[in-house]
Amino acid sequence: MTDKTAEAIKVKLLEGKRYSFCSCGLSKNLPYCDNAHREYNEKEGTDYKSLKIFPKEDTEVLVYSATWKR
Ligand code: FES
């Protein structure tokens, strides 16, 4: 298994906020979802959805998806 830590994006998450991360790789605002998956799903019959995060406390995370081409 390859370590993708170097390609991950560090994101600060604040308690009580809602975060939506891209899983399809089409967002122009990575790592966040910009809803580009909706048009792609409709055209290609796929079922991409964003990953929703609701932090219970302020924290930092590393985010990475194999679908991201940066
Ligand atoms: S734009 Fe990629 S999951 Fe929404």
Summarised one tens digit per residue, pLDDT across range 24-53 is 999 999 999 999 999 999 999 999 999 999
Separation of CA 27 and ligand 1 centre (Å): 5
Cβ(34) – ligand 1 distance below 6 Å: yes
* Residue 44, domain extent: 21-63
Domain contains 70? no
pTM, two decimals, is: 0.86
* Residue 61, number of CB atoms within 10 A of its CB: 15
Q: What is the 3-state composition of the chain as percent helix, strand, coil, each rounded to the nearest 5? A: 15, 25, 60
Cβ(23) – ligand 1 distance below 6 Å: yes
Judged against a pLDDT cut of 80, whether residue 6 lies above it is answered with no
Domain contains 14? no
Measured from the Cα of 27, ligand 1's closest atom is 1
Domains of the chain: total = 1
Domain contains 48? yes
Q: For residues 54 and 14, is the Cβ–Cβ distance under 8 A? A: no
